[in-house]
Amino acid sequence: MPNPPIPAGTRIGHVHLKVADLERSLAFYCGVLGFTLMQRFGTQAAFISAGGYHHHIGLNTWESLGGQPPAPGTTGLFHTAILYPERKDLGDALRRLQAAGIPLDGAADHGVSEALYLRDPDQNGVELYWDRPKEQWPVDANGGLSMFTRALDLDSLLVAGA
């Protein structure tokens, strides 16, 4: 008999990233994206959050000070996904990225969500997204989820974030 499903209220609480340069990462995550520094351990680690949570992202140089990103074709984290509460918040994130000159790897409308894809200073993949209300999610003729990938209207997203 298979195990029962994981509880519906289960969430991924935080991600901890190995970085080469703590100050550079803090400049990106706090300075550009707007996370708040919650605690710092000297020059080796920092914990940042949105809204006063103890931490959503941990950054450390314990095994990676001055290191290089993983080579293409290796295993590891594909991307960290940061969920914004509303479309206007994702629009503001896009404005921040553009003002900082940070290029996007891609942008997509998935029906259930709209997403921006980029790289942090250590070349870790980052997805910034917001979820549409569940009642707006696309479904097929049988009522099953029917996600897709279409071009995201960045101009409309910027207007929403203004």
- Structural domains present in the chain: 15-66 (3.10.180.10), 79-162 (3.10.180.10)
pLDDT of residue 12: 86
The two structure tokens encoding residue 143? 């009522």
pLDDT of residue 13: 87
CB 104 within 8 A of CB 126: no
**For the chain, which residues score pLDDT lower than 70?**
none
pLDDT tens-digit map of 8-20: 999 888 999 999 9
**Cβ neighbours of residue 71 under 8 Å, at least 6 residues apart?**
none
pLDDT of residue 1: 80
